A and B are shown apart, each in its own frame.
Chain A
């Protein structure tokens, strides 16, 4: 029964993929979209069933299908682990996934390759489910690289544009840098404990005496490098903003709500490893904090609506890692979920705007859309309030938990996180004011066609906005359902429940004020004073540095990409030629010896006799001397 459920869960999206690949074109756009959506919806229903089962029994389900890879001391099977963590992830992956599939039926309807889009989306859901429910690290790795592949396919969906293809390639390669880290981490863990299976590993670590802690820390560090790739943390974050080349539903599903949270999932899954690697935890917290700040500063000045959201995603992911670094896994998971709600809503909303403006993404050419697109406006406003941490929206609770945790462990990191949060509130409302308020700044043509999107687009927006509002209820301060639900996963007593004292209320107040301050600045600058960001060539000074993203792409290009290409040409043009000449050289030496030898064959008997006698003398004297 459990096996069947698990198989239905994972195989339905795969089936949807196959149907759309082979028959999608002939089925027509609406049918192919419907098949894709239903496939994911079925997985969502199964996830609900599993969730129900797990909350009632409190026990995880382990499903083993068959032996997969055999290594002398490691037996790796293809199996699934459905427990509190994986089912929670399943719920929002398939739930939000269904909504985004539904949205895409309308959004992608004008694209001639719509069936392919749904095929790739279904394939993505298949790999994402595999990633989440794998019972060992290597099954996770199938999903891990599989979602990377789908990300590649979907970023480059409009494959005639080589810039998009570059972005897709960059995403894949940067992820693979992280993947090497993940592999090495697996190798170390495999050789230490002879298993990659989560459950076995947990028991092995719990029962181990004389653990080689430095080695374990190295493993944890390598695994974290993997997480950096997938979840876009410094130094491997630059692919995510470029990934916005893909169609907007993809940005919402893959590059905001689900795939990029895989790193957080993996660290949470292996909490018993990371708990022992305290140095690595510090690294994680610091990297998370710095990433959240750096990305937020870049987000301050971007003018492309999707770029703002992309940097905001990087920044929010940074906050999640900040929590992970302090071992506050349930806090990070909480923020993953609320972030999935409001960020998916924001991306889909931006998609609705872009759709309404026929592809325009530059906020300088927007404005005043509030009246024409009321549903898009209100849902995005709610989500912006949520991400800015305005009280009682979902983001308020989750972000507050993170900052509170940080405060208890490290004041500097708390400050960094808080500053990033203030910036978030600012740039989100900068986005809102520029997009929806004042007068429309686009062309007359566009103005004429302004309209609210259809119901397939607005319904998902409304549902997500409701979730973004009330999502915080799952983990209210003081009485958290989520913490209790996740408790069986963690070795430590689940989360140090911050009992609400004066400090906590003060911090909460400071955070709220900070958020409101950010909103206020945006209000003054972009509503009161009616500023519109300068055109590209007039951006100077610090803004220029931020606008050009600290030139990190250029630096990577100069330090890694260019040299390797130069080296490649050097090898191709010079080293290969020299090596080849060396082989021919050996041949030449042989023929040269033969040529010189030939000269001795002069035919002169005198010379032969002379050499003969010389040789004889040599032999005789050798025998003589040897005795």
Chain B
């Protein structure tokens, strides 16, 4: 078995879901997403046993494009993140009714397919195709099943679509230029191309535009909050939990090793941009009125730190940022789910209209609080492991980076606890709030279990990703 199996499962799943009809769609989708998760665990086992799970097939001869999928530790970690979050996301939607459910759930699986493809692709053009493919389902999910005023939503979603697409075109240009030089799109060939410092600069910048918009890094983030707010929560979870990690992952896989000289030359600037995002995102998050928007800006702050960690070009920075990608993926899905649970009962996302929920729902309160604490990286959660490692790596570059980036532990606590206080505490609201259902509880419990387990025992993940990251660093430092 090789990594293409999981792609096949997800693709078949998307079609099967569509043809199973509206009634069954959600269950079929869940089944296939679980099958994909099972498959990725088997793949992980095989990989750990030393089996080769990569694929290379020639696809198009002229220009030379291969169907190449690379199953290394880094790729597998991201695939596992996707495969683990997709069933949680699907299951979390079980409390909602969707019109044309078959289309909705099919698109979710299709998106998972494209994202897994992005994480595995080892050929530049194949990667680019998967990368763009992932944009299409989320566009429709947000546009058709989103909420709020239809016209405003259309504006926000179209803006997002065109903006990210435009960014990606720069990346495509870079790939075409690289192909001229290397005569191949295969990643190992691209790693070997000799580029002058000037060429590297432009290629680095082209990649950066694509990734900075996707991640997003300030000031390219303006699409984010609106789309997160207006997309259905499932869409927001897909975007924030997995899709933005495509950008962060690509920095490690493509941008840094292909243009290492530029990376080394300008790393200070990009670390600074990431950290600026931490501070800016945290401050903007503080006074948001809409719960989903607040979480969107908190996400902006967190990915800023992850990006900063990646640009340190140290093993610690890379390792910390990958761990933080995974931890953030889980916690942000959990937090958006909490927002959804509240919306199901209150039909509002306005923080000002909430309050006093704690008295009525002890279980929900506990789960939400644990997620809030994970989000502010309390030790014993996985988020702490990631954040500590990233901050440590920053301190090795310049202590001021660690201090400024470290303000996240203060500001993060400020905006999250402020939000928690206004949403959950205080006098009981006149509206009733039923505690979590069994289905909802299961989704929360799984996420929390993952975060706590790896909080105390991150070793399996560290061991999985370290060899790949060392390889990437070797490529970066080859000259």
User: Across the interface, do B407 and A187 meet the contact criterion of CB distance under 8 Å?
Assistant: no
* Separation of A66 and B314 alpha carbons in the complex (Å): 25
Residue in chain A with minimal CB distance to B395: A187
Query: Chain A's nearest CB lies how many Å from the CB of B331?
Result: 16
Q: Does B103 contact A (CB under 8 A)?
A: no
Q: Does A78 contact B (CB under 8 A)?
A: yes
Residue of B283, B413, B428 touching A173 (CB-CB under 8 A): B413
* Separation of A34 and B356 alpha carbons in the complex (Å): 30
Contacts of B407 in A (CB 8 A): 180
Contacts A66-B457, A71-B389, A580-B222; A565 near B287 (Cβ below 8 A) = yes
* Separation of A580 and B459 alpha carbons in the complex (Å): 42
Chain B, interface size category, equals: 35 or more
User: Across the interface, do B427 and A160 meet the contact criterion of CB distance under 8 Å?
Assistant: yes
Residue of A141, A165, A567 touching B421 (CB-CB under 8 A): A165
Q: Does B409 contact A (CB under 8 A)?
A: yes
Query: Chain B's nearest CB lies how many Å from the CB of A391?
Result: 45
User: Across the interface, do B379 and A71 meet the contact criterion of CB distance under 8 Å?
Assistant: no
User: Across the interface, do A184 and B287 meet the contact criterion of CB distance under 8 Å?
Assistant: no
Contacts of A68 in B (CB 8 A): 456-458
Q: Does B241 contact A (CB under 8 A)?
A: no
Residue of A159, A184, A572, A580 touching B288 (CB-CB under 8 A): A572
Residue of A70, A145, A584 touching B378 (CB-CB under 8 A): A145
User: Across the interface, do A188 and B395 meet the contact criterion of CB distance under 8 Å?
Assistant: yes
The secondary structure that dominates the A interface is helix
User: Across the interface, do A565 and B417 meet the contact criterion of CB distance under 8 Å?
Assistant: no
Q: Does A183 contact B (CB under 8 A)?
A: yes
Contacts of B288 in A (CB 8 A): 572
User: Across the interface, do B287 and A187 meet the contact criterion of CB distance under 8 Å?
Assistant: no
Q: Does A571 contact B (CB under 8 A)?
A: yes
* Separation of A576 and B216 alpha carbons in the complex (Å): 14
Residue of B316, B409, B410, B456 touching A71 (CB-CB under 8 A): B316
Contacts of A146 in B (CB 8 A): 378-380
Q: Does B253 contact A (CB under 8 A)?
A: no
Residue in chain A with minimal CB distance to B315: A72
Contacts of B458 in A (CB 8 A): 68-70
Contacts of A564 in B (CB 8 A): 283, 286, 414
Query: Chain B's nearest CB lies how many Å from the CB of A164?
Result: 9
Query: Chain B's nearest CB lies how many Å from the CB of A235?
Result: 14
Contacts A173-B417, A180-B410, A565-B287; A160 near B356 (Cβ below 8 A) = yes
Query: Chain B's nearest CB lies how many Å from the CB of A24?
Result: 11
Query: Chain A's nearest CB lies how many Å from the CB of B297?
Result: 9
Q: Does B464 contact A (CB under 8 A)?
A: no
User: Across the interface, do A70 and B462 meet the contact criterion of CB distance under 8 Å?
Assistant: yes
Residue of B163, B285, B395, B417 touching A169 (CB-CB under 8 A): B417
Would you give 27 A-B contacts (Cβ < 8 Å), ordered by A?
A: A71-B389, A71-B392, A72-B316, A146-B378, A149-B378, A159-B358, A159-B425, A160-B428, A166-B421, A173-B413, A173-B414, A173-B417, A176-B413, A180-B407, A183-B391, A183-B409, A184-B395, A187-B391, A187-B392, A187-B395, A187-B399, A188-B395, A190-B392, A564-B286, A569-B287, A572-B284, A583-B163
A residues near B (Cβ < 8 Å) are 21, 66-72, 74, 78, 138, 141-142, 144-146, 149, 152, 156, 159-160, 162, 165-166, 169, 172-173, 176-177, 179-180, 183-184, 187-188, 190-191, 564-565, 567-569, 571-572, 576, 579-580, 582-584, 587
Starting from the known contacts A74-B392, A173-B414, A582-B222, 5 additional A-B residue pairs (CB-CB under 8 Å) come to: A156-B425, A160-B356, A184-B406, A568-B285, A587-B162
Give the 6 A-B residue pairs with the shortest CB-CB distance, closest first.
Answer: A187-B395, A568-B287, A568-B286, A580-B222, A142-B379, A159-B425
